[in-house]
Amino acid sequence: MCGIFACHRHPDVQKFKPTALRLSKAIRHRGPDWSGSVISNNTILCHERLSIVGVESGAQPLTNADDSIILAVNGEIYNHRSIRKGLQGKYHFKTTSDCEVIIPLYTQYDIDAPNHLDGMFSFVLYDKKQDRTIAARDPIGITTFYQGWSSKEPGTVYFASELKSLHPVCDKIEAFPPGHVFDSKTGKTTRYFNPSWWDPAKVPQTPVDYKVLRKALEKAVRKRLMAEVPYGVLLSGGLDSSLVASIAQREMVRLRQQAADNDATADMQSNPDIGEGLVGIDPEDDHLDTVTYLPQLNSFSIGLPGSPDNKAALEVAKFLGTRHHVMTFTIEDGLNALSDVIYHLETYDVTTIRASTPMYLLSRKIKAMGIKMVLSGEGSDEIFGGYLYFHAAPNKEEFHEETVRRVKNLHYADCLRANKSTAAWGLEARVPFLDKEFLETSMNIDPADKMITSEKLEKYIIRKAFDTSDEPDEKPYLPHNILYRQKEQFSDGVGYGWIDSLKDNAELQITDEMMKNPKPEWGTDIPDTKEAYWYRLMFDEHFPSTCAGTVQRWAPTWSQQSDPSGRAIKTHNDKYQSAV
C-alpha cells in the first residue's frame, strides 16, 4: 500500500513545495520504500511507495514518454498484463509497474479509464497539455482516499490517502466516493462504477450455483497472489479468513508443482529419456505478473491468551499446512495503543477501533518478519449477511437492501480498518471477497438463499459452496467444524476480555457529567456511550472538527442495542455460548 498527496492549481506551487513534501511525509508509513514528487505548472504530485510489483523500476510519480502526463497511484491493478496487450496503438512503458497502464488507458478512454481497471486503487493523474487533473477511487473503496479544499485558495483542490495530510491546509474535507472519478475540467465528480446489483430495489432472482460461487472466489484469491515480495494470510480461524487461506495454500501448492513440472519439461527437452506428458503453464494464469514461490505459506493470528480465534486458527493452519504464527497481546498492550490506533484510523467509530487495535498490533509483527502483503477476509459478512443481526431480517427484500447498503459503506468501516491498520506499518492488505467479478456473482444471488433460518447458519451458501463432503474425489477445503463455525466479530474473537476492558476503562475516563455536556462542535453527532465518547475525545486530540464529516458510525439494523458487538446480540448467546 502506498501514500499519495496532490495539489492542483496552487497559486504559488514552488513556495508550497516544502509544505507539500511535509504533508506527504505524514503518510510515509504507508510507503516507506521510496518518496517521489513532480511539479508541473501549478500542480504537484507526491508519492510514498511500498514496492510489491515492479519493485526495481516502479518508482512514482510515473510519466509518459514526453512527461506531459504525470501519475501517482496507491493500489494494485490485477489485470495490467491484459490491459497492456489490449491497448490500441503503441505505448512505450517505462516501468514494469502494474499501475503504469493507467496512463495509456487515460489517453485512450479519458475519464472512463478507471472502468477498465480490475484492482484496488486511488490515483491522481495530471495532464500538463490540458492543465487538467483527474482523480479516481476503486469501486468499493478498498484504498482510502480524501479530497480537500481551502477557503484561502478557492481555485485549488487537494487529494491525499489520509486525512493527516489534508487537515493542516484544508478547511473542508470529504471522503472521496468509491467508484467515482473527478475531473478538474468540469469540476464534477461522477460515478463510473455501475454494476447490475447497485440498485437495492432490484431484488435478484437467480438461485445460487455453488460451483460458480466457489470458482469465483478461487479466481479472486489467485489474482491477489500477484507479488514480487514475501506475503502471507491473516487467519482468525473464522470462516472468511480460513477460506481465503485454504484457497491461497492450494494455489501455492499448485504453482510450486507447476514450476517443478516446467523444470522437468526443460530437462526432458534436453534429455528426451526423462519422460513425457508433463503439464505446462496454465494460460488462465496470464494475468499474473510475478508470483513469489514461497517454501511455505505464512499465516498469522492474534488474540488474548486462550482466545477463540487463536485456537481455531491453529486448527486451520495445521489442517492446511501453513507456517502459522500466533501472536498474543495483553489488554494493557491494546489500551496503550488506542491513541495511536485512532491517529492511524482517522475515525472514532466504536466497532472499527475495537477490531483495528489487534489488527494494528499484529501488522507490526508481520512487517517485522519481512512480509509486505497479506490476504484478508473483509467483505464476506456484508455480501452474505453474516452479521448476527441479519437473523432479524423480516424478509428477503430487506435482507438484500441491507447487504447492498453494507457493501456500499465498507469504505467507512472494514475497508478502512483493513487498509489503515496494516498501512500504519507499511503492510498491504488485499481482500478477495471484494473482487469485482466475485461481487457480480455473489450480489446477484436470490437473497432468499442467503437468509438465515433454523436449518441454515449465517453465510450458509458460501459454506456450502466449499463443502466437499459429497465430492469423494475432492480434498476438503476446511475442517467441518471450522466451515460451519458461527460468526464471531473480530473484536470478540480475539478474546471477550478485550471489549469488556474497553468499556471498563471508558467508565473510568468519562463521567456522567461529561456525557450530559458534549462538545458544542460535535453538533448532532453525539456519542451514545462512554466508550464512544472516550474515542471521540482521542480523535479530537489528533484531528480538527473539519475531519469529523468523513466518519460514519457502524450500527446493526433491526436492533435497538447500543453496543455494536455481535456478542451483545441475543442470537450469540442462544446459538453460540450454549454450544460451547
Neighbours of 577 (CB within 10 A): 9
Sorted by sequence, the CB contacts under 8 Å of residue 399 that are 6+ apart come out as 385, 390, 393, 447, 450, 451
The three-class DSSP label of residue 291 is coil
Residue with cell 450458509: 460
Neighbours of 508 (CB within 10 A): 9
| Burial class of 46 by CB neighbour count within 10 A (0 to 12, 13 to 18, 19+) | buried
How much of the chain is in helix, strand and coil states, percent to nearest 5?
Answer: 45, 15, 40
308-342: b or e for each residue (b if 16 or more CB lie within 10 Å)?
bbbebbbbbbebbebebbbebbebeebeebbeebb
DSSP state letters, 236-283? -SSHHHHHHHHHHHHHHHHHHHHHHHHHHHHHHHH-TTS-S------G
Instruction: Give the span between the Cα atoms of 344 and 6, in whole angstroms.
Output: 20
The annotation places the binding site for L-glutamine at: 98
**Bridge-partner residues for 308, per DSSP?**
none
DSSP state letters, 465-497? HT--TT-TTS--SS-HHHHTPPP--HHHHT-HH
C-alpha cell at 41: 505548472
Tell me if residue 46 is catalytic: no
Residue with cell 481555485: 155
CB 195 within 8 A of CB 115: no
DSSP state letters, 215-230? HHHHHHHHHTT--SS-
Instruction: Give the span between the Cα atoms of 145 and 130, in whole angstroms.
Output: 24
List the catalytic residue out of 2, 46, 170, 547. 2
Return the active site residues.
2
